């Protein structure tokens, strides 16, 4: 794939992640049920490689947080962690099966959620072990200011299903990236 096409795909995925996150935020608010930056970070990592995945992950959080008007320490943390997710997805999922991608991406996104919450709780002054407990429990029960049950696993599942559906649609319609694994 030539550089122009590659840069176009990267820009398109960043734009889709940002626009869809903004639409979700303005229509539904801060209620979490899908992670659009993660969807396109995984797609970018799998289809284009580790560095594009990393770029998409960081840029989509940075730009969307600034557009929402809520940049802060979480922007750097979420952007950096999603960049790692994009980089790892380019390494581990390029040759994986659909089931392998689904399970691996779910676990990677679960780790992202735990780490992002844990780091933020530590930054605001919680003991590191107590912060880790709240970060894990908060994915399943309303803890640390939350109000939804099982929000973490539901968000991860919806995000992964959307990503797998997009990969299947892209493959079915013949859009050519470097390679999709299935």
- The residue extents of the domains of the chain are 3-172
pLDDT tens digit sequence for 111-152 = 999 999 999 999 999 999 999 998 898 888 876 565 678 788
Distance CA 124, CA 182 (A): 43
Average pLDDT over residues 68-81: 91
Distance CA 61, CA 176 (A): 26
Average pLDDT over residues 39-67: 95
For the segment(s) 3-172, the CATH number from 1.10.260.40, 1.25.40.10, 3.40.50.2300, 1.10.1760.20 is 1.10.1760.20
Number of Cβ within 10 Å of residue 38's Cβ equals 29
Q: Who wins on pLDDT, 112 or 32?
A: 112
Per-residue model confidence (pLDDT) at position 144: 55
Task: Name the pTM for this structure.
Answer: 0.90
């Amino acid at each position: 794939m030539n550089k122009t096409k590659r840069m176009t795909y990267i820009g398109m995925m960043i734009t889709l992640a940002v626009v869809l996150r903004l639409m979700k935020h303005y229509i539904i608010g801060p209620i979490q049920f899908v992670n659009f930056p993660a969807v396109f970070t995984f797609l970018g990592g799998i289809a284009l490689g580790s560095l594009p995945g990393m770029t998409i992950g960081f840029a989509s959080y940075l730009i969307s947080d600034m557009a929402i008007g809520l940049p802060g320490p979480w922007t750097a943390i979420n952007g950096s962690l999603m960049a790692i997710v994009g980089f790892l997805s380019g390494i581990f999922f390029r040759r994986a099966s659909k089931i392998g991608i689904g399970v691996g991406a779910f676990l990677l996104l679960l780790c992202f959620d735990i780490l992002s919450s844990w780091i933020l709780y530590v930054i605001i002054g919680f003991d590191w072990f107590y912060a880790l407990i709240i970060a894990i429990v908060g994915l399943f029960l309303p803890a640390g200011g939350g109000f939804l049950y099982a929000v973490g696993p539901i968000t991860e599942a919806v995000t992964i299903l959307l990503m797998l559906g997009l990969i299947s649609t892209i493959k079915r319609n013949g859009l050519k990236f470097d390679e999709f694994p299935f």
